[in-house]
Structure 1
Amino acid sequence: MSGPLSQVLAAFVDGATSLDEVAVITGLDRGVVSTAVDHLRRMGRIDVKELAMGCPGGGCGSCASGTVDGTAGCGSHGPSQSRTGPVLVQLSLRR
């Protein structure tokens, strides 16, 4: 069996679109997948592109990490221009 880096890279080649999907496909722990993606990025094998910054303009209620009652799910006391919660990224293979 190949190592974690090869398994993670192969999962992306086969069409995986998220770290959770890679973990399911490979059977690797989510933390191992995250570490492998970071290493593959540093090696120049995959690109990571940030798709969003800071809090959404609609406040905590419109944020993906917001709670049902409209409060911040990231632990922030309210909307902020600094990054305190999840950041959406796009992972792609370098050709």
Structure 2
Amino acid sequence: MSALRQILKEITTSRGASLDEIARRVGVSREEAESMVDYWVRKGRLSAEDMAAACPSGGCGGCPQGDHGKPGCGTRRDGPVLLAISVRRP
């Protein structure tokens, strides 16, 4: 099975797993996993929802997904944003 399909399978079956965990299981980097998620979002198989309101007031340093003050989630120009990735049913 290709890494692209493995990412989709892991997201479909791994409730609550972080993208870092999923990337480790599949054997790809975080950046590769993000690109694969973007592919499945464009194809309509996954959806990604901006949950910026859920970010801690202390920024990435106070986020359990953060890595030594670096974002553990998606980012945008005005700061980090927590993303919820879900499977889209046909």
Normalising by structure 2, we get a TM-score of 0.69
Aligned residues: 76
Name the CA distance, whole Å, in 1 between partners of 2:33 and 2:61.
25
Name the CA distance, whole Å, in 2 between partners of 1:22 and 1:32.
11
Q: Equivalences for 1:7-46 in 2 at 5 Å?
A: 7-16=6-15, 17-46=17-46
Contact residue 52 and residue 80 of structure 2 kept, 8 A: no
Match of 1:65 among 60, 67, 79: 60
Asked which structure has the greater CA Rg, the reply is 1
Specify every segment of 5 or more residues in structure 2 that has no aligned partner in the other structure, as ranges: 63-68, 71-75
Specify every segment of 5 or more residues in structure 1 that has no aligned partner in the other structure, as ranges: 57-61, 68-72, 75-81
Q: Which has the higher strand share?
A: 2
- Aligned-pair RMSD on alpha carbons? 2.5
Residue in structure 1 matched with residue 3 of structure 2 by the alignment: 4
Deviation string, structure 1 residues 34-54 (Cα, Å, up to 9, x no partner):
10000100000001011115x
SS at match of 2:80: coil
Cα distance, 1:4 vs. partner? 2.0
Q: Does 1:84 align with 2:69?
A: no
Q: Which has the higher helix share?
A: 2
- % identical equivalent positions: 38
SS at match of 1:44: coil
Name the CA distance, whole Å, in 2 between partners of 1:41 and 1:51.
16
Name the CA distance, whole Å, in 2 between partners of 1:66 and 1:24.
22
Q: Runs of 4+ in structure 1 displaced over 6 angstroms? A: none
